[in-house]
């Protein structure tokens, strides 16, 4: 990997870490502001907390759906060519190649893993919403 790709990856990871830290900080500040009073939370604040949990779980699930779609694409490419690694993936010439039935099995397993990632990414917001409904049944 050349140095420009390393710098790009490092900068992307640092920006994502910074944004994640800011999201956690502002969420905790908001929740401490809401829970500051001695009176029990109103249904409006509970609804806002539920929406925050839903948005955070949706944002957490989106990368999983994207990665799952890409992995399913790679798996379909493996199945069409019946070869692992598929042509054009950038592997070195020394990489052993699986052809025929073994390549198809690898392609099916890769597509299954990608499908699992997509399903998990889509179910994560539902799980978050269900968790809020269990914790706050009067919502």
Q: Is the pLDDT of residue 36 over 70?
A: no
Share of the chain above pLDDT 70, in %: 91
Q: Is the pLDDT of residue 139 over 60?
A: no
* pLDDT recorded at residue 94: 75
Which residues 6+ apart lie within 8 Å of 25 measured at CB? none
pLDDT, one tens digit per residue, over 37-49 is: 666 667 777 777 7
* pLDDT recorded at residue 138: 63
* pLDDT recorded at residue 114: 93
Where in the chain are the domains? 1-39, 42-135
Q: How many CB atoms lie within 10 A of CB 39?
A: 5
DSSP characters over 3-30:
HHHHHHHHHHHHHHHHHHHHHHHHHHHH
Cis ω before 85 (30° cut-off from 0): yes
Q: Would you call 84 helix, strand, or coil by DSSP?
A: strand
119 confidence band (pLDDT: 50, 70, 90) = very high
pTM of the model: 0.62
113 confidence band (pLDDT: 50, 70, 90) = very high
Tokens for 20? 């994640």
């Amino acid at each position: 990997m050349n140095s420009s790709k390393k710098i790009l990856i490092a900068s992307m990871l640092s920006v994502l870490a910074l944004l994640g830290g800011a999201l956690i900080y502002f969420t905790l500040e908001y929740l401490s502001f809401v829970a500051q009073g001695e009176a029990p939370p109103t249904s409006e604040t509970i609804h806002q907390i539920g929406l925050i949990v839903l948005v955070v779980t949706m944002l957490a699930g989106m990368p999983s759906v994207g990665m799952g779609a890409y992995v399913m694409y790679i798996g379909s490419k493996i199945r069409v060519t019946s070869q692992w690694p598929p042509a054009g993936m950038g592997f070195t010439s020394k990489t052993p190649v699986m052809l025929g039935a073994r390549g198809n099995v690898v392609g099916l397993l890769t597509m299954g893993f990608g499908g699992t990632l997509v399903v998990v990414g889509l179910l994560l917001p539902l799980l978050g919403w269900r968790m809020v409904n269990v914790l706050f049944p009067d919502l």
